Amino acid sequence: MEQSIKKSTFHTVVVMVSTAVSRLFGFVRIALIGAIFGASGTADVLNAVFTIPNNLRKLMAEGALSSAFIPVLSKSIVQDATGGRARKILRLTLTFQFLVLAPVLLVCVAFSPAVVRLILDFQDPEKIALAAGLFRWMIHYLLLVSVSAVFMGVINAHSSFLVPALTPILFSVAVISSVLLLHRVFGPFAMVVGVLAGGLAQVFFQVPKMKSLGYGFRPALGFGNPDFVRMMKLWLPVVATASVYTINEQIAIFFATGLEEGSASAMSNALVFWQLPFGVFSASITTVLFPRMSRQAGAGDTGGLKNTLEYGLRYLVLLLVPSALVISFLAKEIVAVALQRGNFLPENTLLTARVLVAYNLGLLPVGAFNFFQRYFYARDNYKTPLATAFLACILDVILSLLLKETSLRVAGLALANSIAFGAGLLIMWLRARASLKPRDANRAGEGLGFRPVFAALSKSLAACLPAAVFLHGFLRYTGSWWRDGSSFSGLGLLSFAGAASAAIILIMYRIMKIDIVMSILRREVK
């Protein structure tokens, strides 16, 4: 057991470090795009078009399909030591992906102007023409990333994590290299070369490991296979939920492209910064605790399930609240140091920072919402996540329509998202609380309580207060150095402010006896 825990901890660290490196390469990517193409006009088109295949991958790639594929594949590996069932599942899945996506890609290529006009709200005919040309090529990334995600799922199911963890980094490296070396020749289409090269690199990088595990890639038919049927039954309700999010995100991009120039880029750039703490902390906690909740639900261990849920929520609070505070205080400085060079101007920094602050208000709600979603999936409850996602997205659209017409403009779209997921989190919490309520009124201690999480929130806010005072004084003393853009002095000031505020928060956690770093390393949840 001890050896298994140590191995799990090592794998968690590998995923967290690789995710952090991938996010950092993402910063370099958007900084390069901003420096070369600016933060409006062409950059708006590039960012808006790329969101289309990037959002659709959540349905056919690491989102919904993987949520159904991995459990079925893992069970087949355990039950069939020869690996025949697992190899059959892989071949059927790859064939299914191709049969579904090939017609979609053909339609997108043939009718790209109509698709772009439907999904995006650009008014300038030149932007529409550029978007259609980019989309006609970039949409093929959807097939490549879908195959890559299935390979990642297979390798992870065999308890091998290094190759899948490194794979996403290849995409950013390919895009960065292509834009840097080819933009003078191909203009914005240099990003198309990078996106497709990155997609191919993600697939072929994993092929040697797949072959060493005994898998082949020949197409297969026979979709009546029991394992494949089971996977589809799991996939359909999950894809319904994921499609709600995908449609909602595309609606937000549609609204942003109808606002002032630079709005779509500001939204895309802000999300890259927002996703760093979300990906490293929220995704890691969810990835580690989801299998545990699934085992506890299968064993009928309601008390253990409640404890795991409360544990995850407490640590989401203790990690995401400080992250939101520090990034919000340093929003202009972070964006300026990372992006403000070349054609990326101070006004672009201000707009991106405003959007980032609005998104940060939803960092904890979105993280906790996703964690609750996995809790319900662990209990084979797919209706609650779907219904709640639908309600949250409806509220998001309504608020977006109202707030984008105020002085907030594109920041209003981000604020609408934060408010909507806050409301969705409340619904999820109440539903989870009801599902854990003991049937026997005389029994206590099984219902999901507000007290442990509220206590963590109170302590986190108290620990953040000295850091907030420090950041306010530091920024007031050092002045508006962010206006100078990216520089070594700016990087030094930003690094000092971030490190000092993090140290203050960790010291406060230690004083309050919240030894968060050591508890994670010790893996208290066993």
Residue 213 structural domain = 14-233
Q: Which two tokens stand for residue 26?
A: 């993402």
Cα radius of gyration rounded to whole Å, the chain: 23
CA distances from 240 to 63, 248, 293, 333, 397 (A): 11, 13, 22, 39, 18
Give tens-digit pLDDT for 227-279.
Answer: 889 888 877 777 777 777 778 887 888 899 889 888 988 998 898 889 888 87
Q: Does 7 reside within a domain? A: no
pLDDT band for position 4 (50/70/90)? very low
Same domain (yes/no): 137, 219: yes
Same domain (yes/no): 471, 325: yes
Q: What is the mean pLDDT of residues 203-215?
A: 93
3-state secondary structure of 72: helix
DSSP 111-151: THHHHHHHH-----HHHHHHHHHHHHHHTTHHHHHHHHHHH
Same domain (yes/no): 218, 361: no
Q: Does 9 reside within a domain? A: no
Q: Does 57 reside within a domain? A: yes
Domain stop point among 199, 233, 267: 233
Same domain (yes/no): 297, 189: no
Give tens-digit pLDDT for 376-417.
Answer: 887 878 889 889 999 999 999 999 999 999 999 999 999 999
Same domain (yes/no): 186, 297: no
- The verdict on pTM exceeding 0.85 is no
Please report the pLDDT score of residue 245 as a whole number.
75
CA distance linking residue 51 with residue 47, whole number of Å: 6
pLDDT band for position 31 (50/70/90)? confident
Same domain (yes/no): 450, 307: yes
pLDDT tops 70 at residue 64: no
Q: Does 223 reside within a domain? A: yes
Number of compact structural domains in the chain? 2
Same domain (yes/no): 222, 269: no
Same domain (yes/no): 317, 445: yes
Same domain (yes/no): 175, 269: no
For helices 84-110 and 42-60, angle between their N-to-C axes, nearest 10 degrees? 150
Q: Which two tokens stand for residue 429?
A: 């919490």
